[in-house]
Each structure stands twice: as C-alpha cells, then as structure tokens.
Copies of this chain bind each other. A is one copy, B any other.
C-alpha cells in the first residue's frame, strides 16, 4: 500500500493549493506515499463537481459526514471556512481518519484543544497547515538557529503586511466576520508569524497587544468566492467584526524579545510576510515576497567583509531543492504546500506525527487568544493563564 487516499472538504483558494500539492508530489518526490485524490466535498453540488474536474479529483460529493465514513479514505483534508474545522475534525478523528487541517485550527483555543484531544484519543495523525515553514529559505533559518550558528537569540521581529481590503467599498466577506473567521488579520496573518516564531525561536512567556478596525462598516457581499467578492457601494452595509490590524510584543521563554504586526492596511504590500532574527553570532532576514532568498549575517566573518549575504536557497544543499530545478531557478508560493504534503505523506508512511501537528495549532491558538485577552483587559497576559 504505497498510497494515501484523500477526501478533501473545501475547494477554494486552499483547496486549489492542496490539490496542486497532491498532484505534484509524485512527480517531484516519487519516493513519497502517492496521494490518491479520491473525493472532494462542498455544499454546492455543481460548483464542487466543476472543481473536482479542474483540480483532478476522482469524485465530488456534498455530504462531508458521509465522506469521512468511507473505507477508501485514509486522510481528511479540511480547508473549509474556519468555523467548520472543529466539527469536521472531531468527526474525522472518530472515524479513524488522519487529518490535515488548514489554519487557524479553530475559532477558539478551547475548540482547538478539543480537536487535538479527539485526534490523540483516536490515535490518528494530525497536521495543521502552517505552510510557510516549508519554504527552503525558512528551513535554512531554522537550521542556522538549531545548529547554534546564530548563537543566543535576542530578537525576533515579524510582520505580515497586506493591502487587499483597504478600499472602504471592498465588501464584507466571510473573512471579515468574527463568527466565521474567528479573527481578522490576527488569526489570518498573525497566526503564520506566531507559528514561525514557535518554530524558530520557541515558546512565549507573555504578550501584550493592540488592534484596530480602521473601516468599521462595509457593503454586504452579494457573492463571494475565495478571497474576492462583489458588493455594491449603494447597498446595505454591515459591521466589520474582526481586526484590520493587530500588533503585539512578547517575551520568549529563552529571554528573546519579540515584536509582531499583522495588518491588511499596509498600502503597497501585497503579501509581505517577513521576519528577522538577531542572535549573538548572527542574524537572518526573510521576506516571502522574495521567498527564495534568506539574508544571513555572521559576526565571525572577517572584519573587512562583514555584511548580510543574500543566500538564494535554490542550491541542492537546501531542503527540497534537489527535487526541483538547477541552482538559481526559483520556486513559488505553491511549493510550500507541496513540501507540506511531503511531510504529511512521509510522517504517515513512517508511522509518526507530522510537524506541525494540532499541538502546534493549539499553541498558536493560545497565543492568538492571549493577545486578544491582553487587548481586551489592557494588560500583559501570561501564556500560563491560557
């Protein structure tokens, strides 16, 4: 059995990214378990049927409860809107299916913990979709930290800047509604930064944050799909119930200081997902808009040639890159998902937990909620409280 039989729930932006990843895996990583794209599930029968054809799934279905009970499915891939994650994940776990769930894992920390517990109780494999960990340049940062080549870490600063909802006439899509999305820039963008911080620096002690919703009302969306939507400026308006921007400070357990900013109101930044780490022996800088590059500095360089190196992480020495193209030939956004499902596939094949797992999802959710609490109560909140 060299296959991984998949049922996927959701078929928009993330559904497309995951489908492409499953489809690409055998060509570039032929030794991995081969994903078999059994069935894709959505509420709108004709739309999901069309998606199945385009994205290469054998079958389309509309009842996720049926799907998770099928014997010919090993793994449930959940990329439906965030408010649906919990119910599906718990049911899938009970049905003995491995689970690959998009981030944020859940709308609340309590929900996330329930999901983790369910998966552990069922003994299934679980993974959460923090795809940015799988950029080769980010892996290099991780390697430099873990090997001690950056020394003791003093600073982590990260910012995820977008500008796609700056127009006040941009409609009230589901990502701007707290009951569906959980939160705004914080949970959508900040969550990625938090996970990278956990991955690269470690756990946090305490946090304090600040957030704002700059545009408080928006036209009701008449139609929406993926990240885009249509609405009329003349039509009725609804209240934006999530944050447009959230910033927070943190102190890590290892003594490093952290600064985070997530915003959808940074004009000119389509998707600047960036971080910098400063250690006693060196620093690294990453920006996803130039995802093939990592800037690296070492204090040990000869004194007349000290400076940040622009490392193009496309040489075979870098994680995953031997499978791709010759040095200097770059990869893009979608490759993070291919590497992500490689880890998923390898972990299942090797009988171990994939990383990041639901535990990482829970940990991220704890920080998100601690920050929310710190904003509400206007005080530092310890992660121990969560």
> Which of A65-73, A104-112, A230-238, A275-283 lies on the face that meets chain B?
A275-283
Asked if A330 CB lies within 8 Å of chain B CBs, one says: yes
Indicate whether A386 reaches chain B with its CB closer than 8 angstroms: no
Docked complex Cα distance between A281 and B53 (Å) = 41
Contact B267 A282 (CB under 8 A): yes
- Determine whether A162 belongs to the interface, using a CB cutoff of 8 Å to chain B: yes
Query: Which of chain B's residues have a CB closer than 8 A to the CB of A117?
Result: none
| Residue pair A271, B329 in contact (C-beta under 8 Å) | yes
A13-B326, A304-B143, A315-B303 known; A281-B261 Cβ under 8 A: no
Encode contact with B along A267-301: 1 for CB under 8 Å, 0 otherwise.
Answer: 11111100010111111000011111100111101
Q: Which residues of B contact A224 (CB under 8 A)?
A: none
Shortest distance from the beta carbon of A139 to any chain B beta carbon, whole Å: 10
| Beta-carbon contact of B19 and A27 below 8 Å | yes
Q: Is the CB of A306 within 8 A of B299?
A: no
The one of B278, B291, B314 in contact with A266, judged by C-beta atoms closer than 8 angstroms, is B278
Contact string, A148-161, partner B, CB cutoff 8 A, digits 1/0?
00000011010101
A327 and B268 contacting across the interface, CB-CB below 8 Å = no
Q: In the complex, what residues of B have CB within 8 A of residue A298's CB? A: 305
Do the beta carbons of A314 and B270 come within 8 Å of each other?
Answer: yes
Q: Is the interface of A mostly helix, strand, loop or mixed?
A: mixed
Whether the pair B26, A23 counts as a contact (CB closer than 8 A) is no
**Would you call A266 and B155 a contact (CB within 8 A)?**
yes
B-facing mask of A352-386, CB < 8 A → 1, else 0?
00000000000000000000000000111000000
A54 in contact (CB, < 8 A): yes
**Is the C-beta of A208 less than 8 angstroms from some C-beta in chain B?**
yes
Contact A296/B305 with A208-B208, A278-B266, A329-B332 known, Cβ cut-off 8 Å: yes
Chain B binder among A81-89, A191-199, A243-251 = A243-251
Q: Flag whether A122 is at the interface (Cβ < 8 A).
A: no
User: What chain B residues lie within 8 Å of A328 (beta carbons)?
Assistant: 162, 269-272, 288-289
A1 proximal to B (CB < 8 A): no
A310→B54 CA distance, assembly (Å):
33
Q: How far is the CB of A208 from chain B (nearest CB, A)?
A: 6
A374 → B minimal CB distance (Å): 9
**A282 to chain B: closest residue by CB:** B267
Residues of B within 8 A of A299 (CB): 163, 166, 267-268
| Chain A 327-348 per-residue mask, 1 if CB under 8 angstroms from chain B, else 0 | 1111111110000000000000
Q: How far is the CA of A297 from the CA of B161 in the complex (A)?
A: 14
A46 CB, min distance to chain B CBs, angstroms: 15
Inter-chain contact B20/A27, CB cutoff 8 Å = yes
> A265 near B: Cβ within 8 Å?
yes
Contact of A315 among B140, B251, B276, B306 (CB under 8 A): B306
Instruction: Offer 12 A-B interface pairs, CB within 8 angstroms, sorted by A.
Output: A20-B27, A27-B54, A27-B55, A143-B304, A155-B263, A164-B326, A227-B326, A270-B328, A289-B328, A303-B317, A304-B318, A331-B334
Additional A-B contacts beyond A27-B56, A248-B249, A268-B283 (9; CB < 8 A):
A209-B249, A212-B255, A247-B259, A266-B278, A269-B283, A270-B329, A271-B326, A331-B332, A332-B335
- The 4 A-B residue pairs with the shortest CB-CB distance, nearest first, are A271-B328, A270-B328, A268-B297, A307-B311
